[in-house]
Amino acid sequence: MVSRSKLKSAAGAAVNIGLAEKTRKIVIDILGTLLADEVVLYIKTRNFHWNVVAPNFSEMHQFFEGQYEALDEVFDDVAERIRSLGGRAPGSMGEFLQLTRLSEKTGQIAHAPDMVQVLLDDHERVIRSLRADIEKIAPLGDAGTEDFLTALLEEHEKMAWMLRSYLQ
Ligand SMILES: [Fe+2]
């Protein structure tokens, strides 16, 4: 495991926002794993944007672009939330691959429906993880992160619906 939250060595003054260091550490670790999932999902979506083959190529190319742009904003927000809580955001591919709960095996996929299925499975996995993370955070009193993760959950549910709609 990568050491994700060296609170004392994270640059800057002490964080005094009404959350115990122990609480912040738990939340920062949860957010670090989520950040890795979001970055991996972003790269997979971008890969599919580049390599998709389909009769409706232009539509799928643009659809994947819209999704990776949304994920770009999502993982930036996750990283900056980690910083807001006094943690260090994981920022290397090595760390992301060690932390992520998603699988990277996407090199051989060329056709749009297979890509859509892979991304849908990943979004649903992230949604289930977020639900578990929210439950873990609820008793800790970190209202900001709880609210943040709930909004992310809804965003992934919407992205998953769009992917699912291509399969029906
Ligand atoms: Fe592009």
Per domain, the residue ranges of the chain are: 20-166
pLDDT digits (tens, 9 = 90+) for 30-77: 999 999 999 999 999 999 999 999 999 999 999 999 999 999 999 999
Query: pTM higher than 0.85, yes or no?
Result: yes
- CATH number of 20-166, picked from 1.20.1260.10, 3.40.50.300, 3.40.250.10, 1.10.760.10: 1.20.1260.10
Angle of CA points 118, 161, 125, to nearest 5°: 45
Ligand 1 centroid–CA 65 distance in Å is 7
> Residue 18: left if φ>0, alpha if ψ -120 to 50, beta else—which one?
left
- Give the Å distance between the CA of 62 and the centre of ligand 1: 8
For residue 95, the CA-to-ligand 1 centroid distance in Å is 26
| Alpha-carbon gap, residue 101 to 141, rounded angstroms | 25
Q: 47 CA to middle of ligand 1, Å?
A: 10
pLDDT at 8: 52
Please give the distance, rounded to the nearest whole angstrom, from the Cα atom of residue 44 to the centre of ligand 1: 13
